[in-house]
Amino acid sequence: MTPPTGPGRRRFLRLATAGLLCAAALTGCVGTGGDAPGDDSRATGSGAPGLRVGVAPNVVLDAVTSGLRTDGALAAAAGPVTFTELRGPDEIRTRLTSGSVDVLTLPANIAANLHNRGVDVRVLGVVDGPSDVLLGPASKPASWSSLRGATVHVPFKGDVNDVVFRRLAERNGLKPGEDLTIVHHPALPDLLTAVGSGRAEYALLPEHQATLAAGAAARAGAPRRPVLDLGGEWRRTTGQTGYPTYAIGVRGAYADRHPALMKEVDRALRASAKTAPAPPREATAGIAGRTEVPPATVADLLERLSPGYRPASAARAELDALFRELATAAPALLGGRVPDAGLYAAPPA
């Protein structure tokens, strides 16, 4: 059996690619010139400021933030709550610097990078659940030792998960380039095709894309299964309790102007996260429609990944540990250094 062709193949690549663009490293494309500051004096007819939320089209990120779409108390405090889809680092930067989004999902390292480059963004909290998965042959054992002599396909050379994977391999007795070969893919569609056709024996992919790719490989007669979970291996190897690669960010000017509303946003995110692992049917259908992932796959993924949300104050130590690792291995991912305390939003009063 072969991978999908024609419209089916295009749909598979489009679905699998959605939400991953934000995982690319933000290097050399950040600046504040030419962007007008946002107008935080705006008000709706009710006098409320309104809340504009940007979310990457990813199952976990959508699930954790989906409650913001229906939370009555938040809407009463904020006025109209509107949503926009974020599809890459450039769009994140542009919307933040132009003030056209107030709260958004973004990779934690991109938040740090933007902050270090003078962009007005703070981390409100972190999203638990997103993590890259190493897919491998279903017939082989799931362990680091099984990778000795293997070729691992990885998207986006120099990205956070590429850096962390190589660091973890070294800590588990494998030297990339000697004990295992890493092949980098500059574009995701090529890697997804390689996995779906069975040409890529091992591949590092984020969820939900890993599940979709594994399904395509199974249909091609080359079944793949999760061999290692990068977040789990990070926690096991470093002793950290979390792998906070994704954050909820807020424009600093908006947070300063509306501290009471920030408390409502934090409350609504906590409430939303409680139902994210098993959302009601209508919420699952909404997530499926926005991410273009089948509802049954959405439900299975959320149950398995058990996504959550924690305020920055609860995840600060874990973020600092990740940033210190990146500052040593790939400082450009952070804009040159571990960010200072100004990156973190003040805890809700």
In the sheet that holds 132-137, the strands lie side by side as: 181-185, 151-155, 202-206, 132-137, 224-229
Asked if residues 13 and 192 have their Cβ atoms less than 8 Å apart, the reply is yes
Cα 343 to the center of its chain, rounded Å? 18
**Is residue 313 classed as helix, strand or coil in its secondary structure?**
helix
Q: Which pLDDT tens digit goes with each residue over 48-73?
A: 899 999 999 999 999 999 999 999 99
Range name among 104-113, 138-147, 283-292, 316-325 with the lowest pLDDT average: 138-147
Range name among 9-13, 80-84, 156-160 with the lowest pLDDT average: 9-13
The burial of 221, by beta-carbon neighbours within 10 Å (0-12 exposed, 13-18 middle, 19 or more buried), is given as exposed
The pLDDT value recorded for residue 45 is 54
Q: Which pLDDT tens digit goes with each residue over 298-314?
A: 999 999 999 999 999 99
Q: Say which residue, 23 or 83, is predicted with more confidence.
A: 83
Name the average pLDDT for the chain. Answer: 88
pLDDT band of 89, cuts 50, 70, 90: confident
The pLDDT value recorded for residue 349 is 64
The pLDDT value recorded for residue 73 is 97
Nearest residue to 102 (alpha-carbon basis) of 256, 245, 333 = 256
> What percentage of the chain exceeds 70 in pLDDT?
86
**CA–CA separation, 14 and 92 (whole Å):** 20
What are the tokens at 288? 């499926």
The pairing of beta strand 121-128 with beta strand 308-311:
antiparallel
What are the tokens at 131? 């993590």
Q: Using alpha carbons only, what angle is made at residue 265 by residues 55 and 317, rounded to the nearest 5 degrees?
A: 80
Placement of tokens 């480059």 in the chain: 117
The pLDDT value recorded for residue 44 is 54
Nearest residue to 154 (alpha-carbon basis) of 132, 184, 192 = 184
The pLDDT value recorded for residue 40 is 54
Q: Which pLDDT tens digit goes with each residue over 5-60?
A: 454 454 444 444 444 444 443 333 333 333 334 445 455 555 789 999 999 999 99
Task: Tell me the one-letter amino acid at 195.
Answer: V
Region 255-278 average pLDDT: 96
The pLDDT value recorded for residue 20 is 45
Task: Tell me the one-letter amino acid at 43.
Answer: A
134's enclosing H/E stretch is: strand 132-137
pLDDT band of 190, cuts 50, 70, 90: confident
> What percentage of the chain exceeds 90 in pLDDT?
75
Region 315-323 average pLDDT: 96
pLDDT at 195 over 50: yes
Helix ranges (H only) for the chain are 6-17, 59-65, 72-78, 89-98, 108-116, 160-171, 188-197, 209-219, 230-238, 252-257, 259-275, 281-291, 295-305, 312-329
pLDDT at 3 over 60: no
The pLDDT value recorded for residue 42 is 58
**CA–CA separation, 160 and 110 (whole Å):** 10
The pLDDT value recorded for residue 43 is 55
Q: Which pLDDT tens digit goes with each residue over 102-140?
A: 999 999 999 999 999 999 999 999 999 988 999 999 888
The pLDDT value recorded for residue 32 is 36
The pLDDT value recorded for residue 347 is 81
**CA–CA separation, 122 and 66 (whole Å):** 21
